[in-house]
Structures are given as structure tokens and as C-alpha cells.
Amino acid sequence: MGGRSVVLLNILLIVVAVSAGEAEEEPVNKSTLGLWENNNEDELDGGFPSLDGILHWAIGHSDPAKLQQQAQQHLSTQDDHILQKRQTEIKEVVEKLEEEMPSDSKLMQLAIHDLKNNNNNNLEDALHQLLILVEAIHNANNLHNMGGLSLVIAQLNNSDHTIRTTSAWVVGKAAQNNPLVQNQVLQLGALPKLMLMVKSSFIEEAIKALYAVSAVVRNNDKGIELFYSQGGDIMIQGILSNTTADVRLHRRLVSLIADLAEYQLVYNSNLELPFLNNCALVKVLFDLTTSDDLDLQEKVLLAVKNLLMLESTELLVLDGFCGLKGALERMRLQLQQLIREENDNEYAIDVDGLCKEVNLIYLEKLTKTRGLNNISVSQVPT
Ligand SMILES: *[C@@H]1O[C@H](CO)[C@@H](O)[C@H](O)[C@H]1NC(C)=O
Ligand SMILES: *[C@@H]1O[C@H](CO)[C@@H](O)[C@H](O)[C@H]1NC(C)=O
Ligand SMILES: *[C@@H]1O[C@H](CO)[C@@H](O)[C@H](O)[C@H]1NC(C)=O
Ligand SMILES: *[C@@H]1O[C@H](CO)[C@@H](O)[C@H](O)[C@H]1NC(C)=O
């Protein structure tokens, strides 16, 4: 979308949704447009920010009278019955808005200015604004140059936990799939702080902090190394074995394990993470599958699948992979029951398929590893 303002795009989505809801000739199923109703993003980063708030913030920084006048002119005309006409009008509104709206970098500047002034009344709005803006990679890339990243990171120390939470969210969003920002966050020394926040007793803070930690270390050698040296493995095991911890934390941690294993697989990293080939970890993962959360079960299976494929887990495989067979059997019984009770619950069928796949991978690797072992035995000089 090039230089088009992210904020503008969000406004466009709102306008389209409102308009679709109003057009009676061609009813549109609103739930397909209902990003902001359904929190579809929940899985990715723990929730969608309030678009209303952003809209108000953005409008607050332009000329509200003009914008409102235009919106009224174009959206509430009574004689409007044709969807196509609507669409043309929406396009016009957007074009007008585009002229009126400040550019992304102007909005970034304004938000950063509010952060700099450190006035607690504006902080939350400014952070939410950045949250939307850094979704575009060019804005994320500019955040540090404009002085914003260190200001956001400084707010991880704010005494108000909601400010800390949103700050972690911004850091995570900016760093996600962005090696440049990942390295900037690491250089600014924010990872240990974020890791501490994962242990917060405010659950949202813990979740957003873990989101940020995962975003910063994903596929990043330095990040993984630092995570590990700061006791990341102990943190993971501690939370995973806490049966009363929030299931969202568990899901995210299990995905982090899958990521760490995948990194070793794909990049053949020299970075050895012994905790990945440790029965203590694998058993904790299996224990999680006794929960009836299908999403969690699926994530555990995906993580186990990656762990199984690591070269470093050969010994575990020869030894039955920490009771994999029993764990899979138990899961499959549980899933079969769910499939019976819930009229072929498709999700359960998929997860059951994944169980079979994991078992096959295990058997293949077992055969291969045994073969390799026998060869090396026969090659021992006599
Ligand atoms: C809208 O979509 C949902 C989910 O796909 C569906 O359950 C519902 O019946 C649909 N409603 C209409 C009016 O099509
Ligand atoms: C947060 O505060 C601690 C001490 O209270 C300090 O050591 C640390 O550098 C601060 N972190 C940031 C990012 O400002
Ligand atoms: C386990 O999680 C609960 C809920 O988040 C928390 O209150 C408790 O302190 C945790 N226990 C340990 C030992 O970390
Ligand atoms: C490989 O060696 C193991 C004992 O180490 C033995 O049980 C197994 O049968 C051997 N497999 C093959 C294919 O020779």
C-alpha cells in the first residue's frame, strides 16, 4: 500500500463496514467484515486495538469540522439506494480524507511528541496510535530513527500496568518479522525487561510481554542467545508447568518452543539449546494435552513435531521420546470421544490427523536412528 496512511486505511474499513451495514438492497453478512467485533487478531497478538479511539485520535489531529461535514454529506444522504453509487461516494470521501489526513510520518511525530512530554493523560492514546502505525513496515523501520522506539521502551517501566502493557504490544508489533527492529530492540536492552514482564500478575501485561519476547527472538540468533542466557528456558518450563496459568500464555509459549526448534531445523543453527532435547520439557508439553483446549493440543503437537525432527533429539527418540506413544494414545482417545460427541467436530478430526502424523514421523526417525546406530556399531574397529 506504499505511502498510503495506515490510519486512513483503517478509516476506510470503518466506512465500508458502516456503509455495507446500511445498504439494504444488497445485504452483506456483517460478520465477515467484523474484524473489530470478533477480535480475529486475538491469536496473533492478543487483541485488536480500539479503532474508535484511533479514529478519534486521528481526527483530533486534523480538522474535525471539515471531516464531519464530508462524512455527513456523503454518508447520510436519504436518496441513496444504489450500492454502486455508495461505492463511488466512499471513494470520494476517502480521497478527500486522504487530502485532509496528516501523513503517517506526521502522525508518528505527533505520537512521539506526546510520548516525549510523558503526560500520562496522552500516553495511552499515543501508544495506541503507534500500535496502528507500526503495522506498516516503513513506519516500523522509521520508529527508531524518529526517536520513538527508545521512548516506547522507556514506558515499559511506567508505574501504570496498562501503559506497560500497550508499550510491550507496540514493541512486539514493530519487531514482528522485522530483523531491523528486532536488533534495535535488542541493542536498546529491552529483552530482559520484557522477559520479567512475562511473569507479571497482570495477565494482559504478561501476554503482551510474551508476544513481544516471541517477536523479538523469532529467527534471530542474537535474540535467542540472549533469551537463553537470561533464563528463558527456566521461564518457559516454570509457566508451562503452572497448571493455573492462563491458557493464552500456555498457547503462546508452546508456539515459542515450536519456533525455537524450527529455527534450529531451518537454519541449522550452531546455537545449541539443550532444553529442547530434554524430557523435562517434553513431558510438560504432554501434560498440557490433558486440557480440552484443542488449540493448545494442536500447538503442542506442532511443537513436538519440530522437536522430533531435531538431530539433537535422537537419543530421546531411541528411548521412546519421553513416553510419546502413551501420550498420543491418550490424546487420540480423548479426540475420538470429542469427535463422537460433537458430530464430527472438524477441528478435532484435524488434530487427530496431526497425532497420526507425529506418530509416523516418530516411527520413521526411530527406524532411521536405529539404522544409523547399527552402522556406527559395525564400523567400530575391532
Ligand atoms: C453470516 O455468516 C455466519 C458465519 O459464517 C453464518 O453463521 C450466518 O448464518 C451468516 N448470516 C447470514 C445472514 O448469511
Ligand atoms: C527501568 O528502571 C530500571 C530501574 O528502576 C532501570 O535499571 C532500567 O534501565 C529502566 N529501563 C528502561 C528501559 O528505562
Ligand atoms: C501460577 O499462575 C498463577 C496465575 O497466573 C499465578 O497466580 C501463580 O503465582 C503462578 N504460580 C507460580 C508458582 O508461578
Ligand atoms: C540395530 O541394533 C539394535 C541393538 O542396538 C537391534 O535391536 C536392532 O535389531 C538392530 N537393527 C537392525 C536393523 O539391524
| pLDDT tens digit sequence for 277-332 | 889 999 999 999 998 899 999 999 999 999 999 988 888 998 899 999 999 999 99
CATH of the domain at 208: 1.25.10.10
Q: Are residues 213 and 330 in the same domain?
A: no
Q: Are residues 204 and 314 in the same domain?
A: no
Name the closest-CA residue to atom 3, ligand 3: 245
Residue 87 lies in a domain: no
Q: Which residues surround ligand 2 with Cβ inside 6 Å?
A: 153-154, 156-157, 193
The candidate with the shortest Cα–Cα distance to 16, out of 114, 84, 87, is: 87
Residue 97 lies in a domain: no
Least confident of 117-126, 164-173, 185-194: 117-126
Residue 145 lies in a domain: yes
Name the closest-CA residue to atom 4, ligand 1: 31
pLDDT band at 77 (very low <50, low <70, confident <90, very high): low
5 exposed, middle or buried (CB, 10 Å; 0-12, 13-18, 19+)? buried
Average pLDDT in the chain = 83
| Residue 201, phi then psi, degrees to nearest 5 | -85, -10
Q: Are residues 297 and 375 in the same domain?
A: yes
Residue 83 lies in a domain: no
Q: What is the dihedral of CA 301, 307, 308, 314, to 10 degrees?
A: -160
Q: Are residues 331 and 298 in the same domain?
A: yes
Tell me: pLDDT of 166 over 60. Answer: yes
Least confident of 75-84, 137-146, 184-193, 313-322: 75-84
Q: Are residues 128 and 45 in the same domain?
A: no
For residues 139 and 104, the answer to whether their CB atoms sit within 8 Å is yes
Of 103 and 284, the structure prediction assigns the larger pLDDT to 284
Rounded CA gap, 263 and 307, in Å?
Answer: 11
CA of 156 to the centre of ligand 2 (A): 8
| Residue 239, phi then psi, degrees to nearest 5 | -75, -40
- Is 31's C-beta closer than 6 angstroms to any atom of ligand 1? yes
How far, CA to CA in Å, does 212 sit from each of 21, 159, 215? Answer: 36, 19, 5
For the CA of 150, the nearest atom of ligand 2: 13
Residue 363 lies in a domain: yes
Tell me: pLDDT of 66 over 70. Answer: no
For residues 55 and 15, the answer to whether their CB atoms sit within 8 Å is no
How far, CA to CA in Å, does 207 sit from each of 93, 129, 133, 169, 213? Answer: 38, 20, 21, 9, 10
* SS3 at position 143: helix
Radius of gyration over alpha carbons of the chain, in Å?
Answer: 25
CA of 322 to the centre of ligand 4 (A): 20
Pocket residue to mutate for ligand 3, from 199, 239, 242, most atoms within 8 A of Cβ: 242
Q: What DSSP line would sit under 201-270, residue for residue?
A: SSHHHHHHHHHHHHHHHTT-HHHHHHHHHTTHHHHHHHHHT-TTS-HHHHHHHHHHHHHHHHHHHHH--S
CA of 31 to the centre of ligand 1 (A): 7
Residue 88 lies in a domain: no
- Is 39's C-beta closer than 6 angstroms to any atom of ligand 3? no
Q: Are residues 132 and 221 in the same domain?
A: yes
Q: Are residues 345 and 220 in the same domain?
A: no
pLDDT band at 7 (very low <50, low <70, confident <90, very high): low
Give how many domains the chain has, as a whole number.
Answer: 3
For residues 336 and 352, the answer to whether their CB atoms sit within 8 Å is yes
For residues 230 and 217, the answer to whether their CB atoms sit within 8 Å is no
| Residue 4, phi then psi, degrees to nearest 5 | -60, 135
Of 202 and 7, the structure prediction assigns the larger pLDDT to 202
Q: Are residues 238 and 340 in the same domain?
A: yes
End position of a domain, from candidates 14, 48, 69: 69
- Is 29's C-beta closer than 6 angstroms to any atom of ligand 1? yes
Q: Are residues 213 and 237 in the same domain?
A: no
Least confident of 8-12, 122-126, 267-271: 8-12
Residue 374 CA to its chain's centroid (Å): 44
| pLDDT tens digit sequence for 206-246 | 999 999 999 999 999 999 999 999 999 999 999 999 999 99
| pLDDT tens digit sequence for 328-358 | 999 999 999 999 998 878 999 999 999 999 9
CA of 273 to the centre of ligand 2 (A): 29
End position of a domain, from candidates 214, 230, 246: 230
For the CA of 27, the nearest atom of ligand 1: 13
Q: Are residues 226 and 289 in the same domain?
A: no
For the CA of 246, the nearest atom of ligand 3: 5
Q: Are residues 200 and 297 in the same domain?
A: no
pLDDT band at 88 (very low <50, low <70, confident <90, very high): confident
* SS3 at position 49: coil
Residue 90 lies in a domain: no
Mean pLDDT of 197-214: 97
For residues 188 and 175, the answer to whether their CB atoms sit within 8 Å is no
End position of a domain, from candidates 203, 230, 257: 230
Q: Are residues 242 and 382 in the same domain?
A: yes
Backbone torsion region of residue 26, taken as left when φ is above 0, otherwise alpha when ψ lies between -120 and 50, otherwise beta: beta
Residue 32 lies in a domain: no
- Which residue segment(s) compose the domain that 163 sits in? 104-230
